Structure 1
Amino acid sequence: MPNSGLIDYHKLQLTNEEFQRLSALIYKESGIKLPPIKKVMLQSRLQKRLKHLKINTFKEYISYLFSKDGFDREIIHMLDVVSTNKTDFYREPAHFEFITNEVLPNYYSSNVNQTFKVWSAGCSSGEEPYTLAMVLFEFAEKNPKFNFSIFATDISTRILQKAVDAVYSEDKVQAIPFPLKKKYMLRSKDRTNPTVKMAPHVRSKITFDRLNLMDSTYKTKDIFDVIFCRNVLIYFDRETQAAVINKLSQRLKPEGYLILGHSESILNLNVPLVQVRPTVYRKV
């Protein structure tokens, strides 16, 4: 893939036909639908890949991507730049209150010697699973026999590395009460770039892995008490949403909970769940 002289990658443009080929592949591999209005966004994000690979045109890039070797090497990187990653600590706090006030007391009263298992599907840079860890540690402090584990997955290897590194700017954790920060986070000594890192005992409770929700089966063999899949399904069409929710439901215990984002719903989907709260569903 030669590079002929200096290329201004920001000026490279996708044709409509190239956009259609790429958006069809992205939909097939990730379930993410990109309408024509997203063409400029896709063009801008993929320009970085062309620069990295020293490819001069989108036509060459597509030829590379659709080749056997190219597909195997590039598909993960392409999906990395396409996926959207937005998250915060304690986002949609009503969900964590429901876990603390309803789910955990009921679980603990009849499952003292078992491990409470949670899956954060579409965990992005880790704020959700680390929030869950803090919530569960707080419960364990009052209930010493309580044990838990968290499985956290995302399609993006780049964003998963951020989650594993577990380093956040102090601005990012500003809303977290100080007693929790003191228990579960370590402050950096460099005050010119103030950051915090999740404490080792918090990180040890979470297993991070790459997982594509479009896979026909999910590689985890665990059955979970609660699955968080928030603000992920909004990028899928209804048919894909139903398929993903049904596969997630297979990994839920009977009476286990699936928690979706505030703008997501299972309305009119053929799935084995009933609503118990806004965006909270129980397996039947």
Structure 2
Amino acid sequence: MAQMHNQLSPAEGIWALRRLPDMDEAQFNQWQTLLEHRTGITLTAERRSFLETNLGIRMREIGCSSYQAYYEKIVNGPDAVREWATLVDRLTVQETRFFRDPDAFRLVADYVLTRPREQFRKRALEAWSVGCSTGEEPYTLAMILNECMGQLALQPLFGVTGS
């Protein structure tokens, strides 16, 4: 079986090994704003290293030497849409399954079960499952809510939105 070899020039090889500069506050804010505006993903200051690492990996793959140059490529480049999709795919959780986050679902159940029952008789309970891939999380949320309503001896009047 033939082996494939990277054909990098010596300068490109050196770049691939070189550490990226730290992201400054203005750059981080620029990326935070873009991600929140386009995807709803909110990155806190504590997640800066996560963003730097993931941007850095992608930037090395495509030979981009600065956060600003990569930002321009994502926003204005000829392949901006394709590159944006690749980046979002890298930054998001690629896992979905029923009952994926037991602590979160336990929190929802505890919340519903500790509210006054009258609250759920007046109007339907609305729940939102954010960051869903193929739907297992909102279905899990619906199962949890249905079980809670049964425990409270209430009609299962609730709605679940998944996005």
Structure ranking higher in strand proportion: 1
Q: Are the counterparts in 1 of residues 126 and 160 from structure 2 also a CA contact under 8 Å?
A: yes
Please give the alpha-carbon distance, in whole angstroms, between the structure 2 residues aligned to 1:80 and 1:57: 18
Partners in 1 of 2:139 and 2:118 — Cα distance? 22
Q: Secondary structure at the match of 1:102?
A: coil
- Work out the CA distance in 1 between the residues paired with 2:133 and 2:147: 23
Question: Structure 2: which amino acid aligns with 1:98?
Answer: Y
What's the TM-score, normalizing by structure 1? 0.36
Give the Cα separation in 1 of the matches to 2:122 and 2:44.
Answer: 43
Q: What is aligned with 2:31?
A: 26
TM-score (structure 2 length as normaliser):
0.55
Aligned to 2:65: 58
For 1:15 and 1:94, how far apart are their aligned partners in 2? 40
Q: Would you say 1:133 and 2:138 are equivalent positions?
A: no
Q: Please state whether the residue corresponding to 2:159 is helix, strand or coil.
A: strand
2:113 corresponds to 1:100: yes
Sequence identity percentage:
20
Q: CA deviation at 1:144?
A: 7.8
Aligned-CA RMSD value = 4.3
Which letter does structure 2 place at the counterpart of 1:148?
F
Alignment-derived partner of residue 21 in structure 2: 15
- Note the alpha carbon deviations across 1:227-277, whole angstroms, 9 max, x for none: xxxxxxxxxxxxxxxxxxxxxxxxxxxxxxxxxxxxxxxxxxxxxxxxxxx
* Structure 2 gap ranges (5+): 1-5, 37-41
2:112–2:148 Cα contact (<8 Å) kept: no
Mapped partners of 1:73, 1:50: distance in 2 = 14
1:69 Cα deviation after fit: 3.9
User: 1:65·1:71 contact (CA, 8 Å) conserved in 2?
Assistant: yes
User: Pick from 5, 11, 15: which aligns with 2:7?
Assistant: 5
Q: Aligned partners of 2:105, 2:148: CA distance in 1, in Å?
A: 19
Q: Does 1:109 align with 2:118?
A: no
Distance in 2 between the 1:127 and 1:22 partners? 35
Could you say which structure has the larger radius of gyration?
A: 2
Quote the offset at 1:122 in angstroms. Answer: 5.1
Tell me if structure 1 keeps the 8 A contact 2:109–2:145.
no
With over 3 angstroms needed to count, the CA separation of the structure-2 counterparts of 1:55 and 1:131, relative to structure 1, is: same
Does the 8 Å CA contact 2:149/2:156 hold for their aligned counterparts? yes
The letter of the residue matching 1:13 is R
- More helix by percentage: 2
SS of the residue aligned with 1:99? helix
Task: Judge conservation of contact 1:120–1:128 (CA < 8 Å) in 2.
Answer: yes
Amino acid across the alignment from 1:5 = Q
Is the 8 Å Cα contact of residues 149 and 155 (structure 2) preserved in structure 1?
Answer: yes
Report Cα offsets for 1:116-168 as digits up to 9, x if no partner.
Answer: 3211345689786454222222145565842432113xxxxxxxxxxxxxxxx
